[in-house]
Amino acid sequence: MPASLVTASGSAHAAVLGVGSYRPRRLVPNAEIVDAIDSSDEWIQQRSGIKTRRFAGPDESVQMMSVAAARGALEHAGIDAAQVDAVVVATVSHLMQTPAIAPAIAHELGCDAPVAFDISAACAGFCQGVGVASDMVRSGSARHVLVIGVERLTDILNREDRGTAFIFADGAGAVVVGPSETEGIGPTVWGSDGEQFDYIRQTEDWRDVIAEDSPVMPTLTMQGSAVFRWASFAMSKVGLEAIERAGITVDDLDVFVPHQANMRITDAMARSMKLPATVRIARDVADQGNTSAASVPLALHRMVEEGEARPGDLALLIAFGAGLSYAAQVVRVP
C-alpha cells in the first residue's frame, strides 16, 4: 500500500486586510517633460489625463519605496512583519537579473524566513499577485501574504521618446492578504495574449546591448495606439467576468480601481461595462502618471485615505499591460 500524502488546506476565505503606499517626493508637471518630446501640456492632458507625475530621487530605491508601502499596509492591517510568511513583489524595474528583490525587502521589514519572490508581469503584476496570494491563503501555503507593486520606471525611461516619456512614473503600493471569516477576494480572472508580446517591451535584448562598442541602457518602448485599443475593448470584458464570477452585478459595486494607464482607457472601460454613476472611480493617473505594477494599490490607498473607498465596499481591481497580460478581481475594501 503506497503511503498517501496529506492535502494542504488553509483558510476557507481570504481578504485584503490592509493597504499602504509610497509616493516619491518630487512632483514633475507636464511643463518639465514637454520640451524633450516636442509636446504640450494640453496634448498630454487631452490624450492621457496626466497633469503631473512623481519621479524617484536617488534615495528612493525600489527597496526603500517597497518597505515604506509595506509598513503602511501592515500597520493598516494590524499585522506584525513577523506574522508575514510570504512576500510577493510585482515589478519590472528591479534592475538585477538575480536575485529577486523580495527576499531583501522581507529581510528589511523583519519577516521571519518567508517565501519571497518577484512577479514579472509589468502593469498586470499587482493583481496577479493578489490572485496568487489569495490562493496561497486558501490552500494553506501561507497565512499572511504581503503583495507589493513597485516601479522606478524612470531608470528605464527614454526621456526623448514621445510615446512613453510623459506616461511612466515611479512609486509603490502594498496590501496584506490574509485569512477571513467571510469572502473578501472574488475569483481572479487572468490571462495573457502572447501574440501581442512585442507591444510593450525593453528596446533591446541584454546580449545585443553588451555586444555593442558603446553599450547604452535599454529603455521601454510601447505601441501605444494598439495597446490603447486592446485595453479599452478587451479589458472591460475581463472586468465584467470578474464581477460575474464574484457572484455580484455592476449594481453591487462601490468602487472601480483600474490600472492607471490613461484616463481615456478608464472612461472607455467604465462606459463599456455600464458602471452605474454611483460607482466611485480611481483617477490617480492625473497626479501620479502610470506607475505600472504600483498603480492599482497606489490608487486604492488614495481612495481609502480620502474616504472614497470605505471599509466593506466592493471594489473591482483590474490591471493590464506588457505580455500582453491581465488580471482582475473584486475585493472588499479593508
Residues forming the active site: 123, 259, 290
- Beta carbon of residue 162, minimum distance to ligand UT7 (angstroms, whole number): 4
Cβ-based nearer residue to ligand UT7, 166 or 246: 166
The rounded distance, in Å, linking the Cα atoms of 313 and 250 is 13
Which window, 20-28, 92-100, 219-227, 247-255, contacts ligand UT7 (CB under 6 A)? 219-227
Cβ-based nearer residue to ligand UT7, 66 or 232: 232
Task: Report the DSSP pairing between strands 115-119 and 86-90.
Answer: parallel
Q: Tell which residue, 57, 66, 55, has the closest CA to residue 88.
A: 66
Residue 97, helix vs strand vs coil: coil
- Beta carbon of residue 148, minimum distance to ligand UT7 (angstroms, whole number): 18
Beta-carbon contacts of 240 under 8 Å, excluding residues fewer than 6 positions away, are 250, 273
Which window, 5-13, 21-29, 101-109, 163-171, contacts ligand UT7 (CB under 6 A)? 163-171
Tell me which of 89, 100, 240, 261 binds ligand UT7, using CB under 6 A: 261
The reply to whether omega before 324 is within 30° of 0 (cis) is yes
162 forms part of the interface with ligand UT7 (CB under 6 A): yes
- The secondary structure of 162-208, three-state, reads CCCCCCECEEEEEEEEEEECCCCECCCEEEECHHHCCCEEECCCHHH
- Beta carbon of residue 33, minimum distance to ligand UT7 (angstroms, whole number): 9
- Beta carbon of residue 81, minimum distance to ligand UT7 (angstroms, whole number): 30
123 forms part of the interface with ligand UT7 (CB under 6 A): yes
- Tell me, residue by residue from 75 to 104, as one string, x for binding to ligand UT7 by CB under 6 A and - for no binding: ------------------------------
Half-sphere exposure (Cβ direction) of 173: Cα atoms closer than 13 Å = 27
C-alpha 306: how far from its chain's center? 20
- Tell me, residue by residue from 269 to 308, as one string, x for binding to ligand UT7 by CB under 6 A and - for no binding: ---------------------x-x----------------
Cβ-based nearer residue to ligand UT7, 103 or 224: 224
Cβ-based nearer residue to ligand UT7, 88 or 227: 227
- Tell me, residue by residue from 227 to 246, as one string, x for binding to ligand UT7 by CB under 6 A and - for no binding: xx--x---------------
Q: State the distance between the two ends of the chain, measured CA to CA, in whole angstroms.
A: 48
> How many separate helices (H) and strands (E) can be counted in the chain?
9, 14
DSSP tag of 6: P
- Beta carbon of residue 155, minimum distance to ligand UT7 (angstroms, whole number): 16
Tell me which of 11, 26, 41, 47 binds ligand UT7, using CB under 6 A: 47
Q: Are 250 and 315 in contact (CB under 8 A)?
A: no
The rounded distance, in Å, linking the Cα atoms of 117 and 99 is 9
- Beta carbon of residue 201, minimum distance to ligand UT7 (angstroms, whole number): 11
Which window, 35-43, 97-105, 169-177, 246-254, contacts ligand UT7 (CB under 6 A)? 35-43
- Cell numbers that stand for 331 in this block: 475585493
Query: Cα dist. 252→112, 154, 255, 258, 329 in Å?
Result: 39, 38, 10, 17, 14
- Beta carbon of residue 251, minimum distance to ligand UT7 (angstroms, whole number): 27
Q: Tell which residue, 115, 109, 173, 112, has the closest CA to residue 147.
A: 173
Count of residues that bind ligand UT7 according to CB under 6 A: 22
Q: Which residues bind ligand UT7 (CB under 6 A)?
A: 37, 39, 43, 47-48, 123, 162-163, 166-167, 200, 224-225, 227-228, 231, 261-262, 265, 290, 292, 321
